[in-house]
Chain A
Amino acid sequence: MKVTPALLVIGALLTFWASMAIMVLLPAATMHPAPSSTWRPWSSEEEAGNTLYVQNGCSYCHSRYIRTNDWDLGAERLAEPGDYVAQEPSILGTERTGPDLSQAGGEHPDDWHLAHFTNPRYTRPQSLMPAWKFLGESDIRLLTAYVQAQGGRDADTRISRQQRWRTPAQEAYARGPDKNIEWLHDQVPHGWLAMPNPYPPLPADLARGEKVYQDQCAGCHGPIGDGQGLAAPYLNPVPLNFTLLRRHLTDGRYLGGMLYYQIMNGITGTAMPYFKRDLESEKIWDVSNYVAVYFVGYTDATMEPRGIGAAYEPAWTNPYTPPQTQPAAASQPAAAPARTEPR
């Protein structure tokens, strides 16, 4: 076959435009997905947030769809074509240097986002996201509105739950540190409150707990657990000062289960997120022991009640005695029964 100029020009154009018809025109003619069950239109604020999302290249690190093999943020719902109706542009993204955002709405309250956008390392010390402080607070609020809209009606449900618990959490904080902790304890199922940490805080466990704490928790609660992390000035209510727990042990001795539950589940309405996706069970027990030993100066590890000890558990005697608490100190037993035998 001899390639003449006519064959070259006409053939090249025909092949290309035929492909275009199949790959663009046919989808354009056939793809008219109905809005999905969670879809809702964006408000003008959320639209403005989308514009900022596009302008600042957020889509180079964040995707906006969940696949069947995803486990992280948003993995409770697979993406549907009807999730993106009327959004223009609706950039789905090709990289996940940060988490998928398709269901990010309502995962965190607005004050967490303000701290996180100002400098992501304030809330998540390991984040690689740029600090967006230079955009100014009004743009950060628009971006926050956009993130909070991700997930549509499902996000709205999460937001309303955040808002439902925000007011009581703030009121409790306003009543003073002791009342605040009492309120926080009241939100934990009783079974967890009266549960000791089942694992001993051996040096290796504490070293692991320290790593988890400094990587995941120090941004808000501070490197020394006093609640004075870099994010704290942005948050309302502020992060807990762990040293206060010393006078708020359940039954005068328990705090392990309470810490575990709050770390696992987060405290909706406050900036405290859940860590059940980031941390496996042992890591949560380790960081609970770290917080207890280093910041409270006491741990209930391996105390009664407990079941059969895990097979690998080494023998360990809990040397800590519950701190004297006032004013109810007199009614507390002088010392917890120290265990000498692993069970």
Chain B
Amino acid sequence: MSGMWRFLKKPEGPALAFMVSGMLWFIIGTLYGLVSAIDLVAPDFFANIAPLVFGRGRPTHVNTVLYGFVTEVLVGCGLYYVPALLRTKLWSPPAAWLSWLLWNITVLSGPICFAGGHTQGREYTEYIWAFDVTFTLAIVLLAVNIVMTIANRRENSLYVSVWYFTGMLLWTAGSYPIGNVMWHPSTGAVAGILDTVILWFYGHNLPGLVLTPLAVGAAYYVMPRIAQAPLWSHTLSLVGFWTLVALYTHIGGHHVPQGPIPNWLKAMSTIDSMAMVIPVFVALGNLWLSIRGRGGKLLADPAGRFVLAGTVWYLITCVQGPIQSLPAVQRVTHFNNWVIGHSHIAILGFAGYIALGAMWHILPLLSGRELYSRRLVNLQFGLITFGLVGFFMVLTTAGLIQGGAWNNGQTIYRVLPEIAPYMFLRAVMGVLIIAAAFVGFYNLWMTLRRGRVIEPELREEALS
């Protein structure tokens, strides 16, 4: 029993646990994605296998990669870099373990509950009430843990990564219960059109206040370290951080374009969507100027390459996002595969790449072992990059075909055969991403089991 307690009190334990479970969810989540992709190629392939029909498999895919893979890996990174940046230890590793447990119970409820149709059905808020509770508890516990860690810091100034990680927890502790309408346990929704407003307030807070702060915070930690350069501007960090929370929280209405919500909400969400270029360009400018002249160091480092590429995906996502929030553009791009392409470069491209890169960078610091194989990290990078670039191009093309045809009077049934080849190609590209998930988990596992042990003095040096 005391041995168990000693294990739970090890400071690196929860961070590693979040990474390992996150990488496992990467495999499971993308396998569900493949099932859903096959459903759209050959709808009778899994005929009458209830858990795998599109309407049940898709939410399992989405929630598992979102809350399971990307977010868990990034939280694992944060649980390492926040104490490290504050020159202290995590306030309570056992409490972080409890958060890990509650968090994974929530994610596990997805494949189990959705298979039987136990879902609240609103996009990104599908987990049923009991697991909204476990998730909220996990977030609140983590928030307390991090705030207490800050209180016990030995480094006086708070680095920008700490702001983002702390902000994410504080915001999500409010955003998640509101978005999930937790005061209506049976439906997780309010009645009428107002529900759409609340749902998309949360729907865009999810990338905005969960994924973006986690990923940008991790990039702020990893990129200057690998480049061995100081942060370019403290002021830009401030501008990026505060405009992120001030603007991102206003743009959910752009998910219901030309829909029956009030015009002032649509106008506000479009204008603030355009204004999102401020936090995005400020953060990217600050990061890229910090590594100016030293990009080669990031490219040469397997982990750095992932993070650098993640910032490029961030740029593409966040140029595309504001543009597609314009009503004239949305008439063509909404309701079709264009949006699916966009969401994949946001979650797998931007947040997923940075999650993987930060994890590969932090893993040796955390475990005291060198990466089992840098070549496997590079292989994973190649597989994901080929898969995701293809995926994005295929879905964007399919979306333009659909949107253009509909806008000119074609019916859904007439356009479905036109996108059939793209649905096939999407499934093929998805296989590459799944392969990358397997390669990544193998490499992570082998690093923890077989990675060459780093000499303690070298490790101290790396940590300082």
Convert A66-100 into 0s and 1s, putting 1 for each residue whose CB lies closer than 8 angstroms to a CB of B.
01111111000001110111111111101111110
Instruction: Kindly state whether residue A329 has any CB partner on chain B within 8 Å.
Output: no
CA distance A20 to B176 in the complex (A): 12
Residues from chain A with a CB closer than 8 A to the CB of B260 are: 65, 79-81, 83-84
**Once the chains bind, are A131 and B40 in contact (CB under 8 Å)?**
no
Indicate if the CB atoms of A87 and B121 lie closer than 8 Å.
no
Closest residue of chain B to A10 (Cβ to Cβ) is B170
Interface hit among B21-29, B193-201, B313-321: B193-201
Residue of A nearest to B119 (CB): A55
A67 — which chain B residues lie within 8 A by C-beta?
257-259, 331
Q: Is the CB of A126 within 8 A of B201?
A: no
Interface pair A61/B250, CB less than 8 Å apart? no
A20 in contact with B174 (CB, 8 Å): yes
* Residue B39 lies at the interface, judged by CB distance under 8 Å to chain A: yes
Q: Is the CB of A89 within 8 A of B331?
A: no
Assembly CA distance A251 to B261 (angstroms)? 56
Complex Cα–Cα for A162 and B391 (A): 44
Among A1-9, A144-152, A172-180, A330-338, which stretch is in contact with chain B?
A1-9
Question: Do A56 and B56 form a contact, CB below 8 Å, given A11-B242, A20-B201?
Answer: yes
Contacting residues, chain A, for B281 (C-beta < 8 A): none
How far is the CB of B189 from the nearest CB of chain A, in Å? 3
Q: State how many angstroms separate the Cβ of B415 from the closest Cβ of chain A.
A: 9
Q: Does B3 contact A (CB under 8 A)?
A: no
- Residue A224 at the B interface, CB < 8 A? no
Q: Indicate with 1 or 0, residue by residue over A1-45, a CB within 8 angstroms of chain B CB atoms.
A: 111110011011101110110111001101101000000000000
Give the CA-CA distance A98 to B131 in the complex, in Å: 30
Find out whether the CB atom of A134 lies under 8 angstroms from the CB atom of B50: yes
B407 surroundings in chain A (CB, below 8 A): 69
Could you say which of B5-13, B41-49, B293-301, B359-367 contacts chain A?
B41-49
Assess A22 versus B339: contact at CB under 8 Å? Given A56-B55, A57-B121, A87-B192.
no
- Fill in one digit per residue for B242-262: 1 if any A CB lies within 8 Å of its CB, else 0: 100110011010011111111
For residue B143, give the distance in angstroms from its CB to the closest CB of chain A: 9
Interface contact A60-B413, CB-CB below 8 Å: no
Q: Please give, as numbers and ranges, the residues of chain B lying within 8 Å of A120 by CB-CB distance.
A: 43
CB–CB B191/A90 < 8 A: yes
The answer to the question of A103 belonging to the interface, with a C-beta cut-off of 8 Å to chain B, is no
Q: Which listed residue, B117, B163, B193, touches A81 by the CB 8 Å rule?
A: B193
Q: How large is the interface on A (under 10, 10 to 19, 20 to 34, 35 or more residues)?
A: 35 or more
Query: Do A84 and B43 touch (CB < 8 A)?
Result: no
Shortest Cβ distance from B373 into chain A, in angstroms?
A: 38
B54 contacts which of A9, A27, A57 (Cβ < 8 Å)?
A57
Q: Which chain A residues lie closer than 8 Å to B189 at the CB level?
A: 88-91
A8 to chain B, nearest CB (A): 6
Choose from A9, A57, A59 the contact partner of B170 (Cβ within 8 Å): A9
A130 at the interface (CB under 8 A from B): yes
Q: Does B256 lie within 8 Å of A92, measured CB to CB?
A: yes
A94 contacts across to B, CB distance below 8 A: 123, 255, 334-335, 339
Q: In the complex, are the beta carbons of B249 and A85 less than 8 A apart?
A: no
Q: Determine if B413 and A23 form an interchain contact, defined as CB atoms under 8 angstroms apart.
A: no
Asked whether A63 is an interface residue with its Cβ less than 8 Å from the other chain, the reply is yes
For residue B196, which residues in chain A have a CB less than 8 angstroms away from its CB? 90, 92
A119: interface (CB < 8 Å):
yes
A171 within 8 A of B: no
Residue of B nearest to A128 (CB): B43
Cβ contact within 8 Å between B122 and A89: yes
Q: Given A23-B250, A67-B258, A90-B195, is A60 in contact with B39 using a C-beta cutoff of 8 Å?
A: no
Within 8 Å of chain A (Cβ to Cβ): is B412? yes
Question: Could you tell me which residues of chain A, from 185 to 240, have a CB within 8 Å of some CB in chain B?
Answer: 215-216
Residues of B within 8 A of A91 (CB): 121-123, 189, 195
* Pick from A88, A95, A127: contact of B195, CB under 8 Å: A88
Interface string of A151-176 (1 = CB under 8 A from B): 00000000000000000000000000
Q: Mark B313-341, 1 if CB is under 8 A from A, else 0.
A: 00000000000000000010011100110
The answer, yes or no, to whether A248 is at the interface (CB within 8 Å) is no
Tell me, yes or no, whether B464 is within 8 Å of chain A by CB: no
Note all chain A residues with C-beta closer than 8 A to B119.
54-55, 57
- Does B190 interact with chain A (Cβ within 8 Å)? yes
Question: In the bound complex, how far is the Cα of B430 from the Cα of A88, in angstroms?
Answer: 35
Among B91-99, B150-158, B220-228, B346-354, which stretch is in contact with chain A?
B150-158
In contact, B262 and A19 (Cβ under 8 angstroms): no
Q: Are B174 and A72 in touch, CB under 8 angstroms? A: no
Least CB distance from B265 to A in Å reads 7
- Write the nearest CB–CB distance from B217 to chain A, whole angstroms: 13
How far does the Cβ of A270 sit from chain B's closest Cβ, in whole Å? 19
The smallest C-beta distance from B184 to any residue of chain A, in angstroms, reads 8
Verify B121–A95 contact, CB threshold 8 A: no
The reply to whether A88 and B187 contact each other, CB–CB distance below 8 Å, is yes
**Are B48 and A133 within 8 A (Cβ)?**
yes
Beyond A20-B174, A27-B265, A130-B55, is A71–B406 a contact (Cβ under 8 Å)? yes
B166 at the interface (CB under 8 A from A): yes
Measured CA separation A338–B430 after assembly (Å):
59
Q: Does A184 contact B (CB under 8 A)?
A: no
In whole Å, how far is A280's beta carbon from the nearest beta carbon of chain B? 9
A60 CA / B124 CA spacing, docked (Å): 11
Q: Which residues of A contact B157 (CB under 8 A)?
A: 2-3
A245 within 8 Å of B (CB atoms): no
- Which residues does chain B contribute within 8 Å of A129, judged by CB atoms? 43, 54
| B171 x A16 contact (CB < 8 A) | yes
Note all chain A residues with C-beta closer than 8 A to B147.
5, 9
Pair B193/A33 contact, Cβ less than 8 Å: yes
B:142-195 near A, CB below 8 Å: 147, 150-151, 157-158, 162-163, 166-167, 170-171, 174-175, 178, 184, 187-195
**Nearest 3 Cβ contacts at the A-B interface:** A57-B55, A89-B189, A54-B121
A-B contact pairs, 7 of them (CB 8 A): A13-B170, A27-B197, A27-B265, A31-B197, A55-B117, A81-B262, A92-B259
For the A-B complex with A20-B178, A23-B250, A60-B58 known, give 4 more contacts whose Cβ atoms are closer than 8 Å: A12-B166, A23-B197, A87-B191, A94-B335
List the interface of chain A (C-beta within 8 A of B): 1-5, 8-9, 11-13, 15-17, 19-20, 22-24, 27-28, 30-31, 33, 52-61, 63, 65, 67-73, 79-81, 83-92, 94-99, 119-121, 124, 126-134, 215-216, 277-278
